[in-house]
Structure 1
Amino acid sequence: MWRLLLSAFALTLAPRAPAAEPTVELATGEYPPYVSQQLPAQGVFTEIVREVFRRAGYRVQLTFQSWPQTEWQTKTGKVAAAFPYRPTPEREKDFDFSAPLMSPSTYLFYYKPRMPHPPQQFKSLDELRGYRIAIQLGYWYIPLFQQHKLNTLLTSDEVNALRLLQLGHLDLVPMVRERGLFLIRRVMPGHEQEFGYIPIPAEKDTPLGLMFSRSYPQATRIREDFDRELAQMDKDGSLKTIYQRLVESTLPRGPASAVTRGSPPAD
């Protein structure tokens, strides 16, 4: 009898195992240098997402899928959120968005050997009607370009657009700066100095964040926890430190003034 009592007493004194971290299911696709299965830490955006959720007390379960699939799984509640996504009026009808993790600027890339005098001083997109400009389905700038009646050419992806730019079949390709520089270095190594870029008027940045489901269990609470820790990372400087590594890794080789034009990325 005494042995049973002592055993029970010992169990009450034994330290309890910590509760397991809740798991949050996320989806993403290939969008280097921000997200990619082939990059260290699966890309800088993924690194930030994992760190924010770690600080918030969550364990991340991440799957890579096609972009239409990530959106469908988020909408149907199969995953809590997908990233990286830019808020648009159309998306905000079905999804909620986190605060931006980063706000890189969008630029118009051009090929210097075929355009030695790019339209650097223009103040309105109306002034670009004489140029052939690449577009890809689903991108935010399509309604804007349509509004200004620009001469656009639908391309299969941004790599194809860059190749058409080099061949002279296009004049301008809109891309986020870091992504454009990354793709040029990857598919056209040694030709980085031949490309330049100019800012788009009225387009200051491209806020990228998590697109949250409205059907996933506790999605609102998860998003609030995420935003709280993201704000703390922004405050203590760790968010900027991670982003700065991305900027440094995508800068062209050689003097920056000979390759690029435009303001530094948004903080």
Structure 2
Amino acid sequence: MQRVLTLVAQAMFTVCAIGMFAPQTRAQTDFPETLVIATNSDYPPFILKDQKSSFLPDLLKKIGDEMGVTFKLRYLPWQRCEQQVQSHDAWGALPYTRNEDREKIYAFSDPMYQIDAEFFAYDPKGTKKQIRYNRLRDLEGWRIGGIQGYYYEPMFAAASLDVDYAHSEEQNIKRLQLNRIDLTPLPGTIGWYLIKKLFPDNIAENFYTLEKPLVSNGTLHLMTSKSYPGNAILMARFNTALAEIKTNGTFADVVAKHGLVLGY
């Protein structure tokens, strides 16, 4: 009889132990309370140095509320953002565009915002002479300013273009005005934002874009490691939350708050 009671007690202890620890394990793996997102500290107009009034941090907060998680932003240079994703020190990084090389390594969320990529130019006389091209290779001979590690780097290399890489979009806009480069590719929203921020109207009006864009209907995404634990589940929840805030009007409210154009 004593042995039976002992076995029953042991079984009850095991059931209690499973009941105590199983929910915690599930919360830690499938449903984390906090997720780290790496991003750059200044990517106007999407992320500003005044981070509390930035579009993407605000948008992430709304998505996190819908998911039931808190996103912790970690502000780093772009290359370190990718390293954090690869090492799983961060679940994801944003904003990133998709390309063939990245898709071999990373997973991407549904589009968070729609952008284009235009070639900006500057003419001190205000003539705004168009540089026409059909293929990137047609831009051979023009000095192009870019940023190392950006999606267009392999595109320019394949076209054998003369590209001088800087550290930021702001540097390239300044170099354009100083005639140190002839062209620089930027999303239209970002390019015009920086130009109006950096220059008075009499100089800003001499900037222009080429008729043919580098990218049409480009999209910004959250980029994660395919090997991050539970990534498929997390990404599905992220996309569901993103779709919900687009449907219920929250997304449009955040876009309007920051003076952007609703693309979706």
TM-score where L is the length of structure 2: 0.76
Aligned-partner residue type, residue 234 of structure 1: K
Secondary structure at the aligned position of 2:82 is classed as helix
Residues 22 and 133 of structure 1: CA distance in aligned 2, closer, same or farther (over 3 Å) = same
Distance of 2:83 and 2:92 partners within structure 1: 11
Q: CA RMSD, aligned part only? A: 2.7
Question: Is 2:226 the partner of 1:214?
Answer: yes
Give runs of aligned pairs for residues 126-141 of structure 1, distance below 5 A.
Answer: 126-141=137-152
Matched residue, 2:50: 38
Match of 2:184 among 173, 189, 197: 173
For the residues of structure 2 that align with 1:229 and 1:199, how far apart are their CA atoms? 37
1:106 partnered with 2:117: yes
For the residues of structure 1 that align with 2:133 and 2:249, how far apart are their CA atoms?
35
CA contact (8 A) 1:101 1:207 kept: yes
- Given that 1:82 and 1:211 are in contact with CA atoms closer than 8 Å, whether structure 2 keeps it comes out as yes
Pairing of 1:5-154 with structure 2 (within 5 A)? 22-30=33-41, 31-41=43-53, 43-113=54-124, 116-119=127-130, 122-154=133-165
CA distance in 1, matches of 2:49, 2:169: 19
Specify the structure having the higher radius of gyration (Cα): 2
Residue 101 of structure 1 aligns with an amino acid whose one-letter code is: M
Q: Distance in 2 between matches of 1:21 and 1:106?
A: 36
8 Å CA contact 2:252–2:262 kept in 1: the answer is no
CA distance in 2, matches of 1:204, 1:118: 22
Q: Distance in 2 between matches of 1:199 and 1:45?
A: 29
Take 2:234 and 2:209, find their aligned partners in 1: how far apart are those partners?
A: 38
Deviation track 1:138-159 (CA, whole Å, cap 9, x = no partner) reads: 1111222233333333334322
**For 1:59 and 1:210, how far apart are their aligned partners in 2?**
15
Amino acid corresponding to residue 107 of structure 2 in structure 1:
D
Give the CA deviation at 1:84.
1.0
Structure 2: gaps (5+ residues): 1-26
Q: Deviations over 1:33-89 (max 9, x none)?
A: 212341443x21121122112111112222212222221221111221111111222
CA contact (8 A) 1:79 1:216 kept: no
Partner of residue 172, structure 2: 161
Structure 1 gap ranges (5+): 1-18, 249-263
Q: Give me the identity figure in percent.
A: 25
Shift of the alpha carbon at 1:224? 0.7
Amino acid at match of 2:222: L
Give the match for residue 232 of structure 1. 244
Separation (CA, whole Å) in 2 of partners of 1:33 and 1:195: 18
C-alpha change, 1:156 and 1:212, in structure 2 (3 Å) is closer
Q: CA deviation at 1:228?
A: 0.7
| 1:147-172 deviation line (CA, Å, top 9, x unaligned) | 33333333343222212211122211
Could you tell me how far 1:121 is from its partner in structure 2?
Answer: 5.6
Matched, 1:186 2:197: yes
CA distance in 1, matches of 2:102, 2:122: 33
- 2:95 partner SS: strand
Length-normalised TM-score, structure 1: 0.76
Q: Secondary structure at the residue paired with 1:103? A: strand
